[in-house]
Amino acid sequence: MKILVTGGAGFIGSHVVDKFIESGHQVIVVDNLSSGRRENLNPQAKFYEVDIREKVKLEEIFKEERPDVVDHHAAQISVVSSVEDPGFDAEVNIIGSLNLIDLSLRYGVKKFIYASTGGAVYGEPIYLPCDEKHPVDPLAPYGISKHTVEHYLYMNHVNFGLNYVVLRYANVYGPRQDPHGEAGVVAIFSKRMLQGKEAYIFGDGWQERDFVYVGDVADANLAALNYEKEIKSSLDPIFNVGTGVGTNVNTIFSLIKRFTGFEKDPVYKPPRPGEVYRVYLDVEKIKNEMDWVPRISLEEGLKLTVEWFRTN
């Protein structure tokens, strides 16, 4: 199968590319390298350095490659940046996605896999863990823009027959991690502790997140690729991808401190606007319908991440 992965030089996207290639698929990567890195690129993937906002250039790729599947990871991923510049966030995350959806319909793409957010879309939870039916009340433009595309996907399914799957990620961490995403704290702590620099916690550190290892997320994309079920409602193709467990930032700090041999205490700073205090995801739906489960424990995943930063 020929799969076009946007953001395939980025943190999560590059692991997804590796998983698809490992599974025997042909992969085309589209990435503008604004946060992605050439060294993340799988040498077996065909690479186009193009921004998803550039529709004319994107269409040339669709015309040339005729992908069977689009797996869409390219995005503005920082909650903090989205609060500072919501217009840019919308331009990348909404307009860029609409370009891809339109071209997917025009060039007969059989499935569209969309990387959404479970960490930022639900807002402050009414109940925990958040399942896919939980009300959507994002506290930052990032969560709004990512969720908006879910509506466009459903509308294009109903009106034009677009087949799609939405994966709402928890806080993804692991090797190659960018410090700017929702789980950026793992990358930041790892880097700063290995360099012997002070590490900052924004807020009291008791805020909880659902930390899921990037290799497990890549497996979820492979499961979505093979998933076939009739879409009868907008909730049908939406799946949380996480561990179902909340872990506080103080615990993350302590574990990384132990794995790096860091000796200082954290420096606490005021909380940042737009960030949810406590959220973790119910993942029963993806377990039942795609037979996907997270396999890497938090301790094992953090050890792998620290070792990657140590050698890179």
Catalytic residue numbers?
142
Measured on CA atoms in the order 168, 174, 179, 183, is the torsion positive or negative? positive
Partners of 165 in the beta sheet? 113
Q: At what angle do helices 11-22 and 214-225 cross, to 10 degrees?
A: 50
- Record the tokens describing residue 191, joined without a space: 């880097």
Whether 136 contacts 166, CB under 8 Å:
no
Residue 247 C-alpha from the chain's centroid: 18
User: What is the rounded CA–CA span in Å between residue 292 and residue 220?
Assistant: 6
CA-nearest of 294, 75, 71 to 181 is 75
CA dihedral 167→171→172→178, nearest 10 degrees, is 120
- Record the tokens describing residue 42, joined without a space: 């799988």
